[in-house]
Structure 1
């Protein structure tokens, strides 16, 4: 079931009760426009992210393969805040930077969409929100930072990425590590019909330089599928 922006607002308010008007504005801005304004140079974005990650307290670095209660936070149907503390190595941070830049290139929004979200924030009756929003609108809705109170209380360190990237981060990281070896790599995705093989291979093909070979094209050509139906398991080789 799709989650409304108002539901997302309430979840963030419950988790971060000290949110100020500009924190709500930032959430609305991120939900609509994503991280496009934050990326002008991919290499620079990666360098900044690595330095920010290195500055985190060591006990905050969870590591993606360790079982810690750290998770991405939804800001819209397609976007989430992915905490830096999930990354347990520089390579994981580099992958996150790659996903962050890819998200910035893919996502876009409109002023009308932003204003629609700001209207929904009014339902929460946040003190000072109306005045802050009016001043923000006069400035042309520029990107905003978290409030000082929010930063001091919650120490936010994250990057906006597509939710689909967050869901498959461990798998994407293993493929990323294979590619760092500079040797040819073969990845097989196996599963029953409708399990998401084509979807995952599409993500991989979009993010990494690779060729995708659908095994369906070998054992069940397109022209025969309507007659035979989908009764067998399939696989995709990358």
Structure 2
């Protein structure tokens, strides 16, 4: 069940972000398994980083949430800004999401890597299975850790988001009724 579900999130991300490379595939797997716990070591710095990134992000009418697993979504800052939602709401959602650690994250991450392998072999991703295996072998040799988006992805996709638990997607429609949009 998890395999088919994650494969669908993976395919959707590849369609939304065609410059995805093997490195971005690993980043997606890491975020889908671990969430954003590694990003929240200093609350005030995390808040300042969010505010600075929101300031630099151009508003766009895109999806606010892009699901990446049954548990997590990428919350797009451009959409958040487009809808003029308060930055503090996003910070609170992000903070609560990052505070909850998963005990089973590493085995899930490894399972997600295998799902990407199968999808790359089926040629349904923007990178080849050879590129994938080469990158994953090199990555795993250094141990499980977060990675940045690849340079091609950053240049073309201009990613600006926060990883949040999907349960908070349900809160947004309620919050939006509290302000006039």
| TM-score bucket of the superposed structures, by smaller chain | 0.7 to 0.9
* Cα shift readout 1:4-46 (whole Å, capped 9, x = no counterpart): 1111111111222221101000000001000000101222211
Give the one of 84, 90, 103 matched to 1:96: 90
Taking the TM superposition and a 5 Å limit, the aligned residue runs for 1:186-225 are none
* Cα shift readout 1:214-233 (whole Å, capped 9, x = no counterpart): xxxxxxxxxxxxxxxxxxxx
Contact 1:99 1:165 (8 Å CA) reproduced:
yes
Larger-Rg structure: 1
> Which residue of structure 2 aligns with residue 11 of structure 1?
12
Q: Name the structure where helix makes up a greater proportion of residues.
A: 2
Separation of aligned partners in 2, 1:90 and 1:119: 39
Higher RCO (C-alpha 8 Å, min separation 6): 2
> Which residue of structure 2 aligns with residue 165 of structure 1?
168
Separation of aligned partners in 1, 2:91 and 2:118: 35
Confirm or deny that 1:86 pairs with 2:87: no
Moved over 6 A (4+): none
Question: Deviation of residue 174 (structure 1)?
Answer: 6.3
Separation of aligned partners in 2, 1:172 and 1:73: 18
* Cα shift readout 1:24-70 (whole Å, capped 9, x = no counterpart): 0000000100000010122221111001110123xxx25xxxxx343
TM-score normalised to structure 1 length:
0.65
Confirm or deny that 1:36 pairs with 2:29: no
> Which residue of structure 2 aligns with residue 116 of structure 1?
111
Listed as ranges, the gaps of 5+ residues in structure 2 are: 121-126
Separation of aligned partners in 1, 2:21 and 2:72: 21
Separation of aligned partners in 2, 1:71 and 1:37: 22
Separation of aligned partners in 2, 1:145 and 1:18: 14
> Which residue of structure 2 aligns with residue 56 of structure 1?
57
Alignment size in residue pairs: 168
